[in-house]
Amino acid sequence: MDKLAIVVPCYNEEEVLKIASKALREVLADLIQKGKIAEDSCILFVNDGSRDRTWELIEEEHEAYPVQVHGVKLAGNVGHQFALTAGLLTAMEMSDVTISIDADLQDDVAVIEEMIDKFHAGNDIVYGVRKERKTDTFFKRTTAQGFYKLMDMMGVKTVYNHADFRLMSRRAVEEFSKYKETNLFLRGMMPLIGYQTEKVYYDRKERVAGESKYPLKKMLALAFNGISSFSVKPISLILGMGLFIIFAAGLAAVYAFVSYFTGHVVPGWTSMILSIWFLGGLQLLAIGLVGQYIGKIYIEVKQRPRYNIEKVV
Ligand code: UDP
Ligand code: MG
């Protein structure tokens, strides 16, 4: 029977910790009783340098439920993506399959069973996808959707409306562990792993208690990181712009010469206009070209795996 580890990153979550622990323990008990997961399946809380009583609560839970509840304490606050990675890599050592979920129970724990079923049906990654964003504020909804569109335009493959509520098999986490990059954007990395994947749909709920640990500033940082860690398209845009300006400079030159020969201009205007257009275009073109090399270096230094062999016969 497969052992499940539910990974929960927690930053200042003292208000929700016990509630989350209880809800997740119930899910585990139910799945164990149905014979879908191993009896020693567990919850792994990752304390991301909380400044409140989160860690004490995790320890209390572990004492009360030594088999079901475990905890990892990070030495300081490193942010959601790193905390989640720490949890996944720790869970990889002690389980066959992991599910990552936020501590605030916004993601519906009721679909965990469906995730496990899809895992048993041969899927290595099962994405939790939000059906609608009814409970999010208008602002959060539009910014988030704009973000997915932008990512798409920039050529970054992501699963629409999927955050970090996700099942991963042990081998998927092992493959993920080969990605050594420090600029983490997990939901962009998952599609790179390959394997057969599936989605489950759920309604995103409101936080059970406490408030969001993702203020606008962190959201923008995540968005920028997502694009800059996966795409060198912005550099290509500069190159394209350079080419376009050079082309436009040709047109400007025709216009400048026509004006010059028809005598409508003050002295010095023609040479000035020509220099501005051509030098401007040339500079953009040069920056874009240099950027292409920097983009290549950037991709190389990541040392991402180039492929993932699933089977050999
Ligand atoms: N989180 C974390 N470290 C941080 C910020 C957030 O581990 O620096 C955790 C947080 O405890 C929660 C999850 O990441 O379990 C998602 O955060 P939150 O629910 O506040 O984000 P939102 O749902 O508002 O986008
Ligand atoms: Mg939340």
**pLDDT tens digits, one per residue of 195-247:** 999 999 999 888 888 888 888 888 888 888 888 888 888 899 999 999 999 99
| Residue 215, C-beta contacts closer than 8 angstroms, at least 6 positions apart | none
Pairing of β 162-169 and β 97-100 = antiparallel
Whether the model clears a pTM of 0.75, i.e. scores above it, the answer is: yes
**pLDDT tens digits, one per residue of 131-185:** 876 667 788 788 878 888 888 888 888 898 898 999 999 999 999 999 999 888 9
Q: What is the DSSP string of 145-203?
A: HHHHHHHHHTT----TTEEEEEEEEHHHHHHHTT---SS--HHHHHHHH-S-EEEEEE-
For ligand 2, the distance from its centroid to the CA atom of residue 307, given in whole angstroms, is 33
Nearest CA to ligand 1 atom 13: 102
For ligand 2, the distance from its centroid to the CA atom of residue 101, given in whole angstroms, is 9
For ligand 1, is residue 48 a contact (CB within 6 Å)? yes
- Nearest atom, ligand 1, residue 219 CA: 25
**pLDDT tens digits, one per residue of 15-58:** 999 999 999 999 999 999 999 999 999 999 999 999 999 999 99
> Are the C-beta atoms of residues 69 and 42 closer than 8 Å to each other?
yes
Q: Which CATH architecture has domain 4-214+305-312?
A: Alpha-Beta Complex (3.90)
For ligand 1, the distance from its centroid to the CA atom of residue 80, given in whole angstroms, is 6
